[in-house]
Amino acid sequence: MGTLTGKTAVVLGASGEQNIGTAIARGLASEGARVVVSARREEPLRTLAEDIGGLAVACDVTDEAQIENLFETAAQASGKVDIAVFSAGVLAAAPIAELTAEMVRPTLEVSFIGALLFFKHAAAAMPEGGSIITISSLTARIPGPTMGVYAGARAGIDYAIKVAAVEYAGQKVRFNSIAAGLVETDMTGELFAMPGIVEKHLEETPAGRMCTLDDVAEAALFLADEGRSGYINGHLLDLAGGQQMGHLPRF
């Protein structure tokens, strides 16, 4: 029996094979949780749900009605929600001098507005308390060129979890964030193929290796489990091998 047996978890952003949300969903299921996986693309969701014995619910995080439906469906299936993980994101990279409003809005809609509304409806489905986790980024901890939009949205939510932790204290809902270092995923795969990217990051990382999907999944399991992390709230967990103490490479 796993440490999360009897718990229900919702993971938003679990679409794709090499994906942080997918890795977290598999980790939660391995500890006995019933996992509701969600993203915009329905076909890979169904495959994942069948593989882990979970439930697939398509959701576009830019539509609040769909977020509300996601948690209503999860609560109806299991009675309540205990764990919710926000792992959706849009990779935006451009110098501030080249930005337009149209370039900025998609990232804010997903990574900031979408995350806040996710908090709202996740907490509403947790009348007896629970753990809400968001996946942030090393780029929100230390600045790097072209990261103004992406990192700015992540940093905003990293502060918002502190506000949420205070507002939902009476309901015993915990809010925490994981600031992950560069991880090879479906979204970042092209970066890993570029000469020098990994080598330059390793030069700045005391741990001597890159962050992995397993690293992020284990951190999420820790924050999800009340028995392991019940006294941690409003916290940003650095998961970057020490790179957060230095700086991002400049290319």
Q: What is the pLDDT of residue 251?
A: 67
Cα atoms found within 13 Å of the Cα of residue 23, Cβ hemisphere only: 18
- Considering only CA atoms, give the Rg of the chain: 17
Q: Where are the beta strands (DSSP E) in 181-240?
A: 235-239
Active site residues: 150
CB 36 within 8 Å of CB 74: yes
Q: How far apart are CA 34 and CA 11, in angstroms?
A: 11
Q: How far apart are CA 233 and CA 19, in angstroms?
A: 25
pLDDT digits (tens, 9 = 90+) for 183-234: 988 777 777 778 888 889 999 999 999 999 999 999 999 999 999 999 999 9
Is residue 176 domain-resident? yes
Q: How far apart are CA 123 and CA 149, in angstroms?
A: 27
Is residue 2 domain-resident? no
Is residue 207 domain-resident? yes
| Residue 176 bridge partners (DSSP) | 133, 235
Q: What is the pLDDT of residue 195?
A: 84
Q: What is the pLDDT of residue 82?
A: 98
Is residue 50 domain-resident? yes
Is residue 166 domain-resident? yes
Q: What is the pLDDT of residue 91?
A: 78
Q: DSSP of 39-97, one letter per residue? A: -S-HHHHHHHHHHHT-EE----TT-HHHHHHHHHHHHHHHSS--EEEE---------GG
Helix-then-strand count for the chain, H and E: 10, 7
* Token pair listed for 228: 């392991």
Handedness of CA 87, 88, 93, 95 (dihedral sign): negative
Q: How far apart are CA 210 and CA 202, in angstroms?
A: 7
Whose structure tokens read 């919702």? 10
Range of the domain at 237: 8-245
C-alpha dihedral (60, 64, 67, 68), degrees to nearest 10:
-150
Q: How far apart are CA 210 and CA 206, in angstroms?
A: 10
Number of domains observed in the structure of the chain? 1
Is residue 3 domain-resident? no
CATH number of domain containing 200: 3.40.50.720
Q: What is the pLDDT of residue 112?
A: 97
Is residue 1 domain-resident? no
Is residue 98 domain-resident? yes
| Spans of the chain below 50 pLDDT | none
